[in-house]
Amino acid sequence: MNSMVVVLVLGAAAMHAGWNLLAKSAASTGSAVAFVLAYRCLSIVLYAPWVAWVLWHDGMIWSLPVLLFIALASLLHLGYSLTLQRGYQKVDLSVLYPVARGTGPLLASVFAILVLGEAGGPQRLAGIALVVAGILLIAADGRLRRLADRHARRAVRWGALTGLFIAAYTVVDAWSVKVLLIVPVVLDWCAALGNVIVLSPRWLTRRGALQQAMRGRWSAAIGVAVLSPLAYILVLYAYQWGGEISVVAPLREISLMMGTVAGVLILRERASWGRWLGCAVIIGGVMLLM
pLDDT, tens only, 145-171: 666 666 677 778 888 899 999 999 999
Average pLDDT over residues 280-286: 83
- Decide if pLDDT at 229 tops 70: yes
User: For the ranges 25-29, 122-126, 214-218, 286-290, which has the lowest average pLDDT?
Assistant: 25-29
pLDDT, tens only, 218-227: 888 999 999 9
- Decide if pLDDT at 93 tops 90: no
Number of structural domains (the chain) is: 1
Q: What are the backbone angles phi and psi of residue 198, rounded to the nearest 5°?
A: -70, -40
Higher local confidence (pLDDT), 188 or 198: 188
* pLDDT value of position 222: 93
Q: Give the residue numbers spanning the domain of 278.
A: 3-289
* pLDDT value of position 137: 79
pLDDT averaged over the chain?
A: 83
* pLDDT value of position 251: 83
* Model pTM score: 0.83
- Decide if pLDDT at 238 tops 90: yes
d(CA 158, CA 225): 23
Q: Are 240 and 5 a contacting pair, CB within 8 Å?
A: no
- Decide if pLDDT at 122 tops 70: yes
Higher local confidence (pLDDT), 17 or 45: 45
Q: Residue 169 CA to chain centroid, in angstroms?
A: 9
- Decide if pLDDT at 288 tops 90: no
Q: Are 81 and 32 a contacting pair, CB within 8 Å?
A: no
DSSP calls for the chain: --HHHHHHHHHHHHHHHHHHHHHHHTTTSS-HHHHHHHHHHHHHHHHHHHHHHHHHHT-----HHHHHHHHHHHHHHHHHHHHHHHHHTTS-HHHHHHHHHHHHHHHHHHHHHHTS-----HHHHHHHHHHHHHHHHHHHTT-GGGGGSHHHHHHHHHHHHHHHHHHHHHHHHHHHHHTS---HHHHHHHHHHHHHHHHHHHHHT-HHHHHHHTTTTHHHHHHHHHHHHHHHHHHHHHHHTT--HHHHHHHTTHHHHHHHHHHHHTS-PPP-HHHHHHHHHHHHHHHHH-
